[in-house]
Structure 1
Amino acid sequence: MVTPEPAEPPAGQPSAPAGRRRRRILFAVLGALLAAGVAAAAFLLSPPRTPDAGPAQSPAPSAAVTPSPTPPPEPPPTALNILLIGSDSRVNQRGAAAAGKASDQRADTLVFLHLPANRQQVYGISLMRDLWVSIPGHGEAKINASLELGGIPLATRTVESLLGQRINHTVMVDFQTFAALTDAVGGVDVNVKLPFTSTIDPGVAFSAGVNRLNGARALDFVRERKAFVDGDYQRVRNQQTFLKAVLATAVKQSVADRAAARNLAATVLPRVTVVPGLTLDALARLTFSFRNTPAGGAFFTLPTAGDGTSDDGQSIVVQDPAKTAELVAALRANKLDTYVAAHKLQNGN
């Protein structure tokens, strides 16, 4: 038992100022990873561009040249699963978590992203942090304890076991990194449906309608739970709202400069933890495969049986085996679109 607790301007028009261009590229680079305290899926949403060859010129006479062989076509994209983890740590413990070591941090946010092979949708499934599950090698505990007990590898195995899916990459950020990345992209606009006053940072209020969030305010927004009647459930809905806002911004403001995005990626990647790691070449290929993916996505929470109490007195969220099995079957059969439509989950929650 575990103790409680991501066009060029028309010819003749100037390009955007460098600062704004860098910021737009960075939006594309960070996109989806910011929402749940993570940062990398927008790489998958920004199309690369072929550099402008300049004005046409008549070729100078030269000897016949053997044409270069046509490069082989890119292999078709395959389905991809990414686990997004927002750690509750206020200090840098990424090394320990990546290595699978026990550490003083829990998974404050868990979002399973499923990206179908046709890239026509992005599905995000939030997992309640207090969901009572079986953690491989440790018995039953809250799912957020998996990160504390065995770092990213154990958290990944736990979610794989729960959802019956292989996770290709797990991405994690902590509090400090989340705030820094949000500020790096110039802030994010979210539509607040349920206004509230923060209990984390007294005096900070989130009014109904569009709110511009910097790093500190974004952190307050996605962490708050005590201000709500249903606590963590509304917090998860706010996290989904934030993630969808970042995805929409990444698509709207993304730029297709492969070289610039690659250079920025080299700057951004050290700030986040990706297990197993992704090379820049791999990210470029993923980017191209997502050039036609619609913005927004379908985000919802894994159905549960509500709140409960564990045998040792912890307040927990109880699994609903039948509803979980229904979702697992939809994932295995590649029919999440049917599942989402049947449960009216297209807009999340």
Structure 2
Amino acid sequence: MVSTPNGPDRIGPGTPGHDDAASGELTRRRVIAVLLSLLLVAVVAVSSLVFNRPPAQVAVPAATLTAAPTPTQSGTPSTPAPAPTPPPEPIAELRAVAMNILLIGSDSRGNAREQAAITQSTGAYQDQRSDSLMLVHVPADRRSVHVVSIMRDLYVNIPGYGTSKINDSLLVGGIPLVAKTVEDLMGIPIDHTLMLDFNGFRALTDDLGGIDVDVALPFQSTHDTEHVFTPGINHLDGQAALEFVRERYAFGDGDYQRVRNQQTFLRAILTRLTRDGALRDVTAVRALVNFAGNYLTVDQGFDPVGVAVLAYAMRGINPNSYVSLTLPTAGPGIAAGGASVIFPDYDGIAQVAAAMREGRLPEYISAR
């Protein structure tokens, strides 16, 4: 596991694949759609990131390709026709291996990336916890997505710290400790980590123009604007989307419904990006690396080229194959010290982990 948080480098004009025309509205929205798709698919081990990039084509100055201007009847030289825009450089194929990613939703109101880096380098606690935790598995054929949600109050052992709510692992040890805690809990290796904070979540959703979400259980948020969510399709901007995935106090079963809403939101993202064909747009996928560093915290081994290669590899995904479940629990209770927690169901967790390792999670879910 590689776990040093670091945002991707940025690519600007003059680098291969950069296209100023990609700033158009359609391409911009496709780029944002690709960014949001990383919430579902952005993970692959460095050792499995085996690809061969074709050598970058050397741009030939237009002057060397254009014949000398011919005089017109007025004696002034004619204006040469502009050189045609070259096609985007192909994106290499990723080796067919299964992938695991730990998606961390930080509750930081500041800069989650900077806070995580401080905790990792100095050991100093920062004011952020994992508001959501999802282990995302993408099979080797990359045509489906399997998501296992982990309750934020799950009472587990945090290596080197003791027994506590799993969301405390980000507070006390940063991203590496979150990943280690989940690995120990499930016995499944995590290839990469990806973290998004409140500000990034709002910005990405707004830049996409909002997301249509099918609300199964209507409610009024207890956060910020106290947004009212009505039954059926709701078009959510960034702030409303954030309140949708954060809410738990409005529900009788609290965090259980909140996790279901988070899974619903991920399904809506997957539907949107496949509908728009974003993952098949080479220009949009390459332009992704110009935006990702602003919003996402990824581990150091996951560079911009790897992000683009992985996103493009997901272009054949079937949104109807998306499956999700919540990691089994033994229900709520009171821990030592009086904290309200959720106790893990270790037998159930072992069954889920085995199904994920063996690539039969959809069958496991159907049989429950």
TM-score computed with the length of structure 2 as normaliser: 0.75
Distance 1:30 1:237 in 2: 18
Contact 1:85 1:108 (8 Å CA) reproduced: yes
Letter in 2 for 1:326: Q
Distance 1:87 1:75 in 2: 29
Contact 1:32 1:243 (8 Å CA) reproduced: no
Q: Which residue of 1 aligns with 2:84?
A: none
Pairing of 1:167-182 with structure 2 (within 5 A):
167-182=190-205
Q: Which residue of 2 aligns with 1:334?
A: 359
Q: Which residue of 1 aligns with 2:53?
A: none
Q: Which residue of 2 aligns with 1:93?
A: 112
**Which structure has the larger Rg over C-alpha atoms?**
2
Q: Which residue of 1 aligns with 2:18?
A: none
Q: Which residue of 2 aligns with 1:80?
A: 99
Distance 2:215 2:225 in 1: 18
Quote the offset at 1:75 in angstroms.
Answer: 5.9
Distance 1:92 1:284 in 2: 24
How large is the Cα RMSD of the aligned pairs? 2.3
Q: Which residue of 2 aligns with 1:237?
A: 260
SS at match of 2:318: coil
Pairing of 1:86-235 with structure 2 (within 5 A):
86-98=105-117, 100=120, 101=123, 102-201=125-224, 203-235=226-258
SS at match of 1:83: strand
Quote the offset at 1:331 in angstroms.
Answer: 2.4
Distance 1:160 1:219 in 2: 27
Q: Does 1:278 align with 2:302?
A: yes
Closer/same/farther in 2, CA of residues 75 and 147 from structure 1, 3 Å limit = closer
Distance 2:42 2:277 in 1: 14
Q: Which residue of 2 aligns with 1:27?
A: 33
TM-score computed with the length of structure 1 as normaliser: 0.79
Quote the offset at 1:292 in angstroms.
Answer: 1.8
The superposition leaves residues 182-230 of structure 1 with CA deviations (integer Å, 9 ceiling, x where unpaired) of 1111110000011111111355211001001001101111111111111
Aligned length: 295
Closer/same/farther in 2, CA of residues 153 and 276 from structure 1, 3 Å limit = same
Distance 1:280 1:94 in 2: 17
Letter in 1 for 2:304: L
Letter in 1 for 2:95: P
Contact 1:31 1:249 (8 Å CA) reproduced: no
Contact 2:94 2:309 (8 Å CA) reproduced: no
Closer/same/farther in 2, CA of residues 138 and 165 from structure 1, 3 Å limit = same
* Structure 1 alignment gaps of length 5 or more: 1-14, 42-70, 344-349
Contact 1:97 1:103 (8 Å CA) reproduced: yes
Letter in 2 for 1:84: L
SS at match of 2:206: helix
Distance 1:93 1:118 in 2: 33
* Structure 2 alignment gaps of length 5 or more: 1-20, 44-89
Quote the offset at 1:333 in angstroms.
Answer: 2.6
Quote the offset at 1:326 in angstroms.
Answer: 1.0
Closer/same/farther in 2, CA of residues 321 and 259 from structure 1, 3 Å limit = same
SS at match of 1:95: helix
Closer/same/farther in 2, CA of residues 74 and 177 from structure 1, 3 Å limit = closer
Contact 1:136 1:154 (8 Å CA) reproduced: yes
Distance 1:264 1:19 in 2: 14
